[in-house]
Amino acid sequence: MRSMIHVTSSPHIHSKESVKKIMWLVTLALIPSGVWGVWVFGIRALYLIIASVLSCVITEAIILKLRKKPVALNDGSAILTGLLLAYNVSAELPIWVICVGGVFAIAIAKQAFGGLGRNIFNPALAARAFMMASWPTYMITFKAPKGVIDALTSATPLTNIKHNFGFVNPGYMDLFLGNRGGCIGEVCIVALVLGAIFLLYKKYITWHIPIIFIGTVGVLSWAFMGNGLFTGDWLFYIMTGGLVLGAFYMATDYVTSPMTKNGRIIFAIMCGVLTFVIRKWGGYPEGVCYAILLMNAAVPIIERHTKPKRFGGNAHA
């Protein structure tokens, strides 16, 4: 009998999934949207993406080293945070600002809470909120998409509405394809949806959060964002801003969303309601980021009230 035999608790076989694989495939799903962002906003968008990823990865490495933890950069989580952070900013943002954002995302929003799996707030969104509070002018200066010749900078469609510049619908097709002002990774709906279909097919995300989130925003916008009740241009509102990016890739972040199915449904509805409230009455044109962050904080209480029913718990025997 060989002595090299392993003795462990059951089960003795395991699915092929791993944290690393999940992180890398989510990163893969995000690539088309980034490629489009670089295409419409120019090479500067690529520099920002690279700077953001590097800033996150280096910060992660340094802090893991300081915490005397194994420096597991290949789990892909810091790269994913860096990518999402860059997708959430304007291509006009100074490089140093995104570097500070990357440090904040990893050092404060993630590692200060205990690292991977322990953070309360989505690191990329927390960093975005931090940058928004610290350098608002940089954050809301958007570059016009390629093809709009006589403008170097342009307001996003939602900003136009917020500042009473009027309701300017650039056309559903342009919204869908991404010919509009906005953040690097949020503009091209078709690329984001393609990546999301891949993630849904791989069962890395379920439909609950994204569809209910977007659906809630759609219904509320249809009801209240028009000139009269139920006249709102709901299709415009679900395609503008960071809603599609946020709903499919940020609100579904495992770590900062509820683990139970019912919890996810409540989380998604409330994200939708808050997004609508901020867009309609808030000071910012865009509400997705704050809606998700606020709901991140509510996850523990949602989970406490959405525990699965005990097996056999209702039966009378």
Partner 1 sequence: MLSKSFKGGIHPDYSKNLTKNLPIKTLDIPDQVIIPLVQHIGAICHPVVKVGDQVKAGTLIAESEKLISAKIYSSISGKIKAIKKAEHPVIGSCNAIIIDSDKTDEKETLTGDYPVKMEDFTSQNIIDIIKQAGIVGMGGAGFPTHVKLSPPADKKIDTFILNGAECEPYLTCDDRMMQEHSKEVLKGSILIMKAVGVKKGIVAIEDNKPKAIEAMRTSLNEIRDTRYELRIVVLHTKYPQGGEKQLIKALTNREVPPAKLPFDVGCMVDNIQTAYAIYEAVYNKKPLYERVLTITGDAIKEPSNLRVRIGTPISYIIEKCNGAKDSLAKLINGGPMMGIAQYIDTAPIIKGTSGILLLSEKQVNIKEPDPCIRCGRCIEACPVNLIPIDIARAAEYGKFDIANNANASDCIECGCCSYVCPANIELVHLIKHAKRSIQCDL
Q: Does 17 bind partner 1 (CB under 8 A)?
A: yes
Radius of gyration in angstroms for the set of CA atoms belonging to the chain, rounded to a whole number: 21
Q: How far is the CB of 58 from partner 1 (least distance, A)?
A: 20
Q: How far is the CB of 72 from partner 1 (least distance, A)?
A: 8
For 144, list phi and psi in degrees, rounded to 5: -75, 145
Q: Does 152 bind partner 1 (CB under 8 A)?
A: no
For 143, list phi and psi in degrees, rounded to 5: -85, 145
Q: Distance between CA atoms of 190 and 36, rounded to whole angstroms?
A: 10
Q: Does 207 bind partner 1 (CB under 8 A)?
A: no
Tokens of 10: 């059951």
Question: Among residue numbers 239 through 258, which ones bind partner 1 (CB under 8 A)?
Answer: 254-255, 257-258
Q: Does 19 bind partner 1 (CB under 8 A)?
A: yes
Residue closer to partner 1 by CB (options 115, 226) is 115
Residue closer to partner 1 by CB (options 283, 312) is 312
Q: Does 14 bind partner 1 (CB under 8 A)?
A: yes
Q: How far is the CB of 173 from partner 1 (least distance, A)?
A: 36
Give, for 103, the enclosing helix (H) or strand (E): helix 95-103
Q: ∠96-99-104 over CA atoms, to 5°?
A: 130
Q: Does 96 bind partner 1 (CB under 8 A)?
A: no
Question: Among residue numbers 185 through 204, which ones bind partner 1 (CB under 8 A)?
Answer: none
Q: Does 117 bind partner 1 (CB under 8 A)?
A: yes
Among 94, 136, 300, 308, which residue interacts with partner 1 (rule: CB under 8 A)? 308
| Whole-Å CA distances, 286 to 8, 14, 63, 241, 275 | 51, 43, 32, 6, 8
Q: How far is the CB of 123 from partner 1 (least distance, A)?
A: 13
Tokens of 289: 């980021």
Tokens of 167: 């309701």
Q: How far is the CB of 310 from partner 1 (least distance, A)?
A: 6
Q: Where are the alpha helices (DSSP H) in 104-250?
A: 123-134, 136-139, 157-162, 172-177, 189-201, 208-224, 234-239, 243-245
**Region near partner 1 per CB under 8 A, out of 9-17, 30-38, 149-157, 191-199:** 9-17
Which residues would be at the binding site for partner 1 (CB under 8 A)? Answer: 1-2, 4-15, 17-22, 72, 75, 115-118, 254-255, 257-261, 307-315, 317
